[in-house]
Amino acid sequence: MRYAVSLRRAGAVKIAGVREGPGSAERHEECRTASGTSQSIGHVTDIATTSLKDSLAREARALGFDSLGITDPDAITGVRERLDAFLAAGAHGQMDWLADNPGRRADPKVMWADVRSVIMLGVNYGPDENPLAILAQRSNAAISVYAQGDDYHDLIKKRLKLLARWLIAQAGGDVKVFVDTAAVMEKPLAQAAGLGWQGKHTNLVSREFGSWLFLGAIFTTLELPRDAAVADHCGSCQACLDICPTAAFPAPYQLDARRCISYLTIENKGPIPREFRKAIGNRIYGCDDCLAACPWNKFAQAGREIKLAARDELRAPGLGELSRLDDAQFRAMFTKSPVKRIGRDRFIRNVLIAIGNSGDATLVREVERLLDDDSALVRGAAVWALSELGPVNEFQARMAIAASAETDAGVRNEWSDAIA
């Protein structure tokens, strides 16, 4: 367990009298005591800071967390301006939820006025093999490391709740727990809490776990001792910026999500813009290139959580096999996996882009079948894949027939663009 700061002096933790936090439309989880009610303590108590924090760290470790640090809710100064600049540039693309109430996202106290301390936690999901090796196997799919095992949201949320309950039982107070989906800026908070620093690829880099930490947060009304923020250790390195296949970093520390393969394959609901299709290669869900390029990964070890470990069938699945999945088979194959959330049509869209990039003529058969798919998104991607794999003259003849029967304007455009 990485303990963000060593505790040399025993101090006092003030547990203020609090009521339940204000209602919020955010998808946060408020942790409750076993009896089902939020526990509040109506008086101020002293507890040995060191022992509470040490015990918290021990409990967190036992629950599977690898890193823990505590910060002040006011610690992330300057993020509002950067978030505003990101949104003003439109860098969030279709992720409208990122633009909802930026004031709340950038300031934990706007999210919850009673919060006094933010406990940041990390779970190491370091891969057990080089995640870039699969990129050379062009007839197989690359699924990003984070999505090869069970969904981390479910796993971490459960453990955050257990840890939060433990904290309430020990010291009282109210809590809210968050992982990924709420309006909380987890990376700047984790940096302030001493878990690592936000690298030039914009993710948190840890000296011990490199780029491979999932983050989660517990907001509490308890006043807990703070850890020191970690300084930036990127120096003159820019390996992550150089490796990015789609040039998604307009500047160090800034990402244009609209160009990021993770966004394009997961968040983007429509057709993948043509300019990025070739650069996507065989990445069908997310991308790890900038994470994997980071030299700080040399200290990383494979994650210890078995549920987050790669399922064998998701390490290098064949593109042909994936392209044949119908809705029920897709759901069955990706049970408990984060991949499930994009649904079968977007998934097959991604597989078809990878097939178009495979150079594997044996996959033409699969593509032809998908030209008649019920989903226009799938048909459009199939047109592109065929144009990349098939001989041009044959394609022109096929276009004349198929384009005339096509009812969707977007797919008709795919046909004419493909031939242009």
We find the least distance from the C-beta atom of residue 131 to ligand SF4, in angstroms, to be 11
We find the least distance from the C-beta atom of residue 262 to ligand SF4, in angstroms, to be 5
- H helix intervals, 233-363: 239-243, 261-262, 274-280, 289-292, 319-323, 327-333, 343-356
Q: Among residues 3, 65, 112, 214, which is the contact residue for ligand B12, using CB under 6 A?
A: 214
If one asks whether residue 213 binds ligand B12 (CB under 6 A), the answer comes out as yes
SS3 assignment, position 157: helix
If one asks whether residue 256 binds ligand B12 (CB under 6 A), the answer comes out as no
Q: What crossing angle do the helices spanning 376-389 and 343-356 adopt, rounded to 10°?
A: 10
Q: Among residues 201, 277, 315, 349, which is the contact residue for ligand SF4, using CB under 6 A?
A: 201
**Cβ-based nearer residue to ligand B12, 95 or 419:** 95
Segment near ligand B12 (CB under 6 A); pick from 3-11, 195-203, 312-320, 395-403: 195-203
Answer with the entry of ligand SF4, ligand B12, none that 146 interacts with (C-beta below 5 to 8 A by kind).
Answer: ligand B12
Instruction: Let me know how long the chain is.
Output: 420
If one asks whether residue 91 binds ligand SF4 (CB under 6 A), the answer comes out as no
Long-range contacts of 75-79 (CB under 8 A, 24+ apart): 75/118, 75/189, 75/192, 75/193, 75/226, 75/229, 76/106, 76/107, 76/108, 76/185, 76/188, 76/189, 76/192, 79/106, 79/185, 79/188
How crowded is residue 180: how many other Cβ atoms within 10 Å of its Cβ? 16
Residue 230's nearest CA partner among 1, 53, 2, 415 is 2
If one asks whether residue 79 binds ligand B12 (CB under 6 A), the answer comes out as yes
If one asks whether residue 180 binds ligand B12 (CB under 6 A), the answer comes out as yes
Answer with the entry of ligand SF4, ligand B12, none that 246 interacts with (C-beta below 5 to 8 A by kind).
Answer: ligand SF4
What residues from 287 to 306 belong to the interface with ligand B12 (CB under 6 A)?
287-288, 290-291
If one asks whether residue 294 binds ligand SF4 (CB under 6 A), the answer comes out as yes
Answer with the entry of ligand B12, ligand SF4, none that 303 interacts with (C-beta below 5 to 8 A by kind).
Answer: none
Distance, CA of 16 to CA of 129 (rounded, Å): 48
We find the least distance from the C-beta atom of residue 293 to ligand SF4, in angstroms, to be 5
Q: Among residues 31, 119, 260, 378, which is the contact residue for ligand B12, using CB under 6 A?
A: 260
If one asks whether residue 262 binds ligand SF4 (CB under 6 A), the answer comes out as yes
- What phi-psi label fits residue 253: left (phi over 0), alpha (psi between -120 and 50 degrees) or beta? left
How many whole angstroms from its chain centre is CA 404? 41
CA angle 323, 325, 326 (to 5 degrees): 125
SS3 assignment, position 70: strand
If one asks whether residue 178 binds ligand SF4 (CB under 6 A), the answer comes out as no
Distance, CA of 414 to CA of 380 (rounded, Å): 6
Residue 216's nearest CA partner among 120, 150, 105, 106 is 120
How crowded is residue 391: how many other Cβ atoms within 10 Å of its Cβ? 9
Whether 180 sits among the annotated catalytic residues: the reply is yes
Distance, CA of 282 to CA of 355 (rounded, Å): 7
Count of chain residues binding ligand B12 (CB under 6 A)? 36
If one asks whether residue 179 binds ligand SF4 (CB under 6 A), the answer comes out as no
Please say whether the beta carbons of 384 and 419 come within 8 A. Answer: no
We find the least distance from the C-beta atom of residue 348 to ligand SF4, in angstroms, to be 21
Q: Among residues 47, 111, 119, 179, which is the contact residue for ligand B12, using CB under 6 A?
A: 179
- DSSP code of residue 253: T
If one asks whether residue 171 binds ligand B12 (CB under 6 A), the answer comes out as no
CA distances from 272 to 70, 202, 261, 299, 417 (A): 40, 23, 10, 36, 14
Answer with the entry of ligand B12, ligand SF4, none that 349 interacts with (C-beta below 5 to 8 A by kind).
Answer: none
Task: Choose the catalytic residue: 100, 180, 289, 374.
Answer: 180
**Cβ-based nearer residue to ligand B12, 45 or 94:** 94
Where in the sequence numbering do the catalytic residues fall?
A: 180
Note the residues at the interface with ligand B12 (CB under 6 A): 79, 82-83, 86, 95, 98, 144, 146, 179-180, 184-188, 198, 201-204, 213-215, 253-255, 257, 260, 262-263, 267, 286-288, 290-291
Note the residues at the interface with ligand SF4 (CB under 6 A): 199-201, 205, 234, 237-240, 244-246, 248, 255, 260-262, 287, 289-290, 293-296
